[in-house]
Structure 1
Amino acid sequence: MSNIHPSQLPLKHMNYSTMLKPLSVFNKKSTIFGAITILTLSIVFFDAFIYDVLAYHGPFSVIATQVKGLSDFQLNQQLLDRFQGFPPFWRLALYPSFVIGWPRLMLLPNILILSLLCWTIQKLKLLPWHLTVCTVFVFPVCLFSFRSGYQDFFVGATVSSSLVLLLYSIYHRKLSVTILALLLSTFSSYTKYQGFMQSFLVVIVGYIALLFSHYASMKDHIFNKQCLILLTFGLLLTSSHSIWNFLIYSNPFYPISVGPFEGPESNYTASSTYTSFLYPLQGSLNHFLSSSELDWIFRGVVPDYNIDMARAQTQYGGLLDPKNAMGLVRTGGTYGPAYLAAFLVFMYGILEKLRNLFTVKSIDGHDFLFLMTGIYVLLASFLPQSHELRYYLSIFMLISIFSIYYLCQTNQIKVVRAALFLFLSISCVLNFSQPFYSTAKNGIGYAVSYPSRDLPTTQDCLSKPDSEDPATRFACKLILR
């Protein structure tokens, strides 16, 4: 074997360092620089006080942790209902920022979970850490969420790490890794309701993987029984907050009304109506139309890239909806061509892994991860409000990671280089062009004080002390503290 050139080795027998050897110079010179640059820009231009942080994430945090000078903030009835029912972990995650008074500390949970995701992907010999960073941020919505005070990036990266670790543990029969994966799922489920849905689905895919591993991996009946017990316990653990809400409020999603479960706050979907005739498949189709941004073309939505697409409300007349209108439009955010490219590579990889499985009648650990991740991506596209992409960033993280892994595995280095350079550049332009322009216009002080740039002035707060808007009231509480 020592006389055989690495290019003559079958891909499945090539080790990690050999497989990625053509990438080594490219990675060291480009992706490390790109990763560090993106992380630095995200710290400088961190959007701490976006509306939801001021309206309830921040108030919930300071009340729950009794931050001096802020904990007496008064919640209206709607926010009180949310405080009682919403998952509590993000309140603890934001605590250091409010107690010290450093807005950029809100980025710390995202940096920690990104580090864990990179460690996981590198440890499992899929991609090096810096390539993982660049791969995750090819979608603008992922980068927007990372550099904001929302929980969505944290949830997406936690779910992605949990899924990959769980599948790895099942194939390689490592119960300690199974426990770690289930603990991560619990963190996600205690962060927001969409985190619970994705974590619940991760455990369901774990059951499927355990069943499939009986034919794909070494036989170990003791492990199977122990893992089955752990998965069942993990299912209860990830569901525990919703179970508590059901026992106390008769609604696992309290205070949101969902299906037969009534609550004081009505739910909304804001989804496309032109796919409703395809029930029950329209949810997955709406997700694809949103991810590919074809919905913007069909409905004639003016493109706008931000955290939740809430400002992209103008319809100028599309292929399927010719009328001009204003309304709530929360689709898109991936930069459609980037998603379509990653999705096509991902699907081609799935089909090839299936063909190899049926031909060779065996499957290695990486192919097992690839195929089981495909099942998760398919099922996750049916989850409620899957067209609101920021809620389900795990889908995009996993698709991008495995599509780049597949291209590296098949030695498509030029394609990787071109795709990353193109789509990562577009993502950075959509994220940072406004901050750069405003810094050039207003001076370096704008960048230094970027997280607090939209907060009201002291004079504004003194002149309007009793605003009905909770976000304005809490912002003034921060200013006047």
Structure 2
Amino acid sequence: MRDFSGENFSRQLSFALAMALLGSATILAVVRPLIEADAWEYHLPFSARLWDLGGGKASFHLNAKTEARWDGFPLAWEWVQGLFWAATSSLRATIVPQLVLCFAYFAYVRHVLNFPIFWNILGFFACPMLFIHFESTYFDLPAGLCLAIGFFALFAVLRDLRLGIFSRMHASVALASLGLAGNIKFQSLLSCYLIIGIAALFYLFNNGLNRGYRGYFLGLLAACTVLASTSVASNFVRHQNPFYPAQIQLGNAVVFSGPENVKAESPSPTYQIFHKVVTLPGPINFFLSITEFDWALRGVVPSYTIDSWGGDIPQRGGPGRTGGWGSLFATLNFFIIVLQIFMTSKKEDERQHQLALACLLLIVGTSFFPIAHELRYWLCIPLIMVPVNLKFLYERLNGPITLSALGAMTAYGVMQVLSSPFSHVVLGTGNFSQEAPAPLIAALQKTGRYCAPYGDYIFRFSEAVTGRPGLLSNDPKDCEQLPQGNRMKFTQ
């Protein structure tokens, strides 16, 4: 007879909740992946070019802005998504590598930190933005997963160095994951550098490590740095700007010139205080964003979306895409990180103490990054913070109360997403199966060509997606060569 009392019942109920969430979210993601703005604008067109899907470049022309992104943005995940798309001839398959990576993350964290995997699954879905991105083909979650795996791999290597062992397995995981992360997004490259720097600090200032492997570990950090920097090194050689096409400024001085103004496209929020517009330092914007206190200050209607676009329409102050992790989730996890630094002893539980301290350094360091307030770019933080906290709670407070609190937190996070009308988690976006507009079909039937210079999302009607032959173009130069009926301004 099963024991349905106390701790065993809480464990079984929590396990069932975790498996139900993971299973239903995975089915939704595969059947109806969220393919939103950035995917149609440039991620999927890039994948199609890389794998010559539907004629690739010949069947879809980019405008100048997107062409510059093709020429400078890291393309590693576009290549991975394109591989699955080409192998299956299904656009839905572009989300499969992300799901595989997510399952690998759960398994690897379980292996390294040694606490039940369903705890981490519950912690994952307690964060609204992680839940939404699990369903989406955006690149922020794959980048964050690679960074989190790399973080735990480096600290697993450091753990083994205390025993006089250099773990080639963990070193290989660190090299592969951080190398991939740096070539997915520019933002994830910055996080790569920060994680590698933190690992170097813990190595250099830890007297308990075996120094016989100094060359091995420092060589690993150097190799991770070089591999992660492949895309920016290529940009520096070709454009004299490692982050091309982004224009990089230090104050008012332009350090690296480029055609895309990051500050203009991703403004920092401003606040209206006593009839004055106030601009705050980046780190303060970051902490206001993760606690979502920013929403209260600017009168942003609480809502969870893939890129926190609600922050662009505040009732007070200027636009800024803030929040998304959940105020209770972020505040409680940050509190536990700080708490365990004081509750763990360097001698008795040195490894947990270092993990918590490293996580705190990651949070504080990230706050100084450009546009740190846009939290979807820094998903590695909750992906690292949650397992570190859960490991601490599992060892110190493993019982029905902790499991019940974790389950309640997860349920609250899920309800925040489901109650947000534009999260699209349940109903999807409608983009995947939307019918092509009549002028587009008529133009293709008449001339085989159609142009929409400002139609950032017309790729969903391209030959690569629909199999319908013909040239679609976002390039205004093509529009000049077409009759009026074959071109139009088309918006989503």
Q: What TM-score does the superposition give when structure 2 sets the normalisation length?
A: 0.81
Match of 1:253 in 2: 243
Match of 2:268 in 1: 271
One-letter identity of the residue aligned with 2:438: Q
- Tell me the CA shift for residue 63 of structure 1: 0.9
Match of 1:116 in 2: 104
Matched, 1:471 2:425: no
CA deviation digits over 1:313-361, x for unaligned, max 9?
A: 33224xxx5xxxxx643001112122112221222112212xx22xxx4
Distance change >3 Å, CA 292–CA 415, structure 1 → 2: farther
- Give 1:64-213 correspondences, 5 Å limit: 64-72=50-58, 73-96=60-83, 98-99=85-86, 100-173=88-161, 174-176=166-168, 177-213=170-206
One-letter identity of the residue aligned with 1:283: G
One-letter identity of the residue aligned with 1:264: P
What is the total number of aligned residue pairs between the two structures?
Answer: 436
Distance change >3 Å, CA 236–CA 80, structure 1 → 2: same
Tell me the distance in 2 between the aligned counterparts of 1:468 and 1:211: 54
Match of 1:241 in 2: 231
One-letter identity of the residue aligned with 1:459: A
What are structure 1's unaligned runs of at least 5 residues?
1-19, 322-326, 441-445
Does the CA-based 8 Å contact 1:466-1:473 persist in structure 2? no
Tell me the distance in 2 between the aligned counterparts of 1:29 and 1:140: 20
Distance change >3 Å, CA 274–CA 183, structure 1 → 2: same
Does the CA-based 8 Å contact 1:32-1:131 persist in structure 2? no
Given candidates 10, 18, 35, the residue that maps to 1:31 is 18
Distance change >3 Å, CA 239–CA 381, structure 1 → 2: same
Tell me the distance in 2 between the aligned counterparts of 1:23 and 1:170: 35
What are structure 2's unaligned runs of at least 5 residues?
1-6, 250-254, 273-277, 444-449, 470-492
One-letter identity of the residue aligned with 1:197: L
Does the CA-based 8 Å contact 2:268-2:319 persist in structure 1? no
Tell me the distance in 2 between the aligned counterparts of 1:316 and 1:371: 38
One-letter identity of the residue aligned with 1:123: H
Secondary structure in 2 matching 1:124? helix
Tell me the distance in 2 between the aligned counterparts of 1:150 and 1:409: 35
Does the CA-based 8 Å contact 2:182-2:189 persist in structure 1? yes
Secondary structure in 2 matching 1:469? coil
Tell me the distance in 2 between the aligned counterparts of 1:474 and 1:120: 36
**Larger fraction in helix:** 1
Match of 2:4 in 1: none
- Tell me the CA shift for residue 42 of structure 1: 3.4
- Give 1:211-226 correspondences, 5 Å limit: 211-213=204-206, 215=207, 217=208, 219-226=209-216
Tell me the distance in 1 between the aligned counterparts of 2:167 and 2:66: 41
**Larger fraction in strand:** 2
Match of 1:53 in 2: 39
Tell me the distance in 2 between the aligned counterparts of 1:87 and 1:166: 23
Does the CA-based 8 Å contact 2:50-2:82 persist in structure 1? no
- Tell me the CA shift for residue 115 of structure 1: 1.6
- Tell me the CA shift for residue 435 of structure 1: 8.8
- Tell me the CA shift for residue 303 of structure 1: 2.0
CA deviation digits over 1:132-183, x for unaligned, max 9?
A: 1221121111111121111000011110110011011012123411232022
Distance change >3 Å, CA 289–CA 435, structure 1 → 2: closer
Given candidates 335, 338, 345, the residue that maps to 2:329 is 338
Matched, 1:262 2:257: yes
Tell me the distance in 2 between the aligned counterparts of 1:132 and 1:193: 27
Match of 2:296 in 1: 297
RMSD of aligned residue pairs (Cα, Å): 3.0
One-letter identity of the residue aligned with 1:194: Q
Secondary structure in 1 matching 2:115? coil
Secondary structure in 2 matching 1:253? coil
